[in-house]
Structure 1
């Protein structure tokens, strides 16, 4: 796969799967043996079920989630996505119970691609910024 094809896959991941909540695309975009390191740890092995659970928790807690890719940097089989998440806080996020508040956060994700599918995913969210908005905490 070319770098441009890998970037296009990452755009689809966030636009159609995460924001569009099109779970039927999961097996097309993510390999059966892919590792969602947010669930299995760095270097761990995983399955599509890990990705499904991650998405279902996100959709339950932020039902109107919008994930917007702001920039992509790619080399070989790896794509780094700089993206923004927006939505309404309807369930626990980072230990903060539902508030009904709207929030915006920024994240950086690393996605490794093999044969046109994501095989490894990790994300570094701005937890502090999100918690500050949800809990109305000053730092």
Structure 2
């Protein structure tokens, strides 16, 4: 819920960086608080400025509860605090706590999304490294690859390297990342790809043609932070048409 009172320390200075509020309380009525938070989410739909909320319970002291709420900025948090629904739900929540909750205002100075960074590094290695040995630190040995263009899934890091070398041997190419989204153990990357056909590719001799396509890749990460599974969707038929291997489709 967060942003439920006006900050009184540190002055009214504006901050363009992400802002987080940590709310610390003690309660034995967590289920009731959880229902209150559900009400707040429903009643502030389309009006709230909070983007992410996490509630945690202390494993060593189950009455100790912490809520962390993220906002685009401090100013957006203050807008959120002025919603009548926020004020009402907060007062009801305080009544369920053992004393007044404490607040800590945090300007985010580092936001390391580790799986997202590994996904970024994967595409970087694929396009800039002389060889793919660096993939060892990014991809699990038993990696499972799903590509609808292949008759069978690729299983294993070595097989993935060989598949990638087919592309690297056929094209001088580069990726442009359009969007990247992370949720749980998955990172989705929407990309654009441009290349020059400089070598043999699936039996097609080099044509020197400049080609392009778009696609999406979803990576699943294991507990050790390495990529363990991937799903690819891209316009391979369009690429083959650009290479002259297929006739253009007429609508």
**Which structure would you say has the larger Rg?**
2
8 Å CA contact retained: 1:3, 1:75:
no
1:5 CA displacement: 1.4
Match of 2:169 in 1: 60
Q: 1:107 to 1:117 in 2, by over 3 A?
A: same
Compute the TM-score of the two structures, normalised by the length of structure 1.
0.82
1:112 CA displacement: 0.6
**Range moving further from structure 2, 127-136 or 6-15:** 127-136
Q: Equivalent residues in 2 for 1:50-129 (5 A)?
A: 50-62=159-171, 64-89=172-197, 90-93=199-202, 96-114=204-222, 115-129=224-238
Query: Does the residue aligned with 2:243 lie in a helix, a strand or coil?
Result: helix
Match of 1:31 in 2: 140
Q: Distance in 2 between matches of 1:119 and 1:75?
A: 15
1:51 CA displacement: 1.3
Q: Distance in 2 between matches of 1:50 and 1:111?
A: 17
Q: State the number of aligned residues.
A: 132
Q: 1:103 to 1:77 in 2, by over 3 A?
A: same
**Structure 2 spans left out of the alignment, 5+ residues:** 1-110
8 Å CA contact retained: 2:169, 2:201:
no
**Structure 1 spans left out of the alignment, 5+ residues:** none
1:110 CA displacement: 1.2
Structure with larger RCO (C-alpha < 8 A, sep 6+): 1
Compute the TM-score of the two structures, normalised by the length of structure 2.
0.48
Q: Distance in 1 between matches of 2:200 and 2:189?
A: 25
8 Å CA contact retained: 2:166, 2:201:
no
> Which digits, 9 at most, give the CA deviation of each residue in 1:87-124, with x for residues without a partner?
1112225x754322011111111111112211001211
**What RMSD in Å do the two structures reach over aligned CA positions?**
2.3
**Range moving further from structure 2, 23-32 or 127-136:** 127-136
